[in-house]
Amino acid sequence: MAQHKVTQRILTIMDMIIKEREHVKSRSAMARSLDYSPQSFDKVTNDDRNFPIDVIHRFFEKYNINPSLVFNDELWKRHSVDNHVLFQSNTDGVMETSFYVDIENTIRVAMISIENAKRYAIKNQDEEYIGKLSFMSFHNSDEEYRSLRGFQIKGDDMEPNFFHGDWVFGLRVRKFTKIRLNRIFVIVLKYEVVIRRITAFNEESNSLTVSMDNHAYPDYEISLENVFEVWEVESALKSRFPMPK
């Protein structure tokens, strides 16, 4: 059985780690760090065998490897030009395609327009769909990986802070218990995307209480069963300047 290209790529990254990192000095040490016997490792390298899936998973987790680099041919080809980025987790094509980071440390943020919002609510987990969206590129000064996405404001719900057509950029919130109350969030529901201020997280009723900055609209509750994603707004592109006093 021919050795799979995934195994070949993992071996390439392992050799780079051994060369670059002092605490892993040999393939035997690499094998032991993954709870994998050096003898089995030798069979992979010398007999064209493949790594078991549990060893691959431990390798990604322990050494903070971006799995997309190994499984995606286009990304592997792009990043193998510069060997030093292959074992960094914040390279282009993270498993959740919130943004891409290339070897020049430029991020490309997926932008969800008003026209695309309803379809995004349905296909937000479809990487092929996300890849076809419009993107905004800018330099990433933060060395840490962050899940970032852009959304366009619809309607007058959040006036006077945001107006129809403005853009907000949100950071992914994965645990509802981590929600910081009274801040503005993008909430992706089953059939729509809304921008709201979350004022309460109700564990008993399993819901969020949300409000709009336009006080013409009343507060209401959203069941967590209908919430697919939550993004905390951290910045914005606004179409209006503040009126002079």
pTM, two decimals, is 0.59
Q: Check pLDDT > 50 for residue 209.
A: yes
Structure-token pair, residue 36? 């994998």
| Segments of the chain assigned E as strands | 99-101, 106-112, 134-139, 148-152, 167-172, 183-189, 193-202, 207-211, 220-223, 227-237
**Is the model's pLDDT at 89 over the cut of 80?**
no
- Per-residue pLDDT reduced to its tens digit, 91-135: 433 334 444 444 345 677 889 999 999 999 999 888 788 888 888
Give the residue among 150, 154, 157 at the shortest CA–CA distance from 172.
150
d(C-alpha 1, C-alpha 18), whole Å: 27
Round to whole Å and give the CA distance between 154 and 102.
31
CATH number of 96-245, picked from 3.40.50.9100, 3.40.50.300, 2.10.109.10, 2.30.110.10:
2.10.109.10
Domain ranges for the chain? 5-73, 96-245
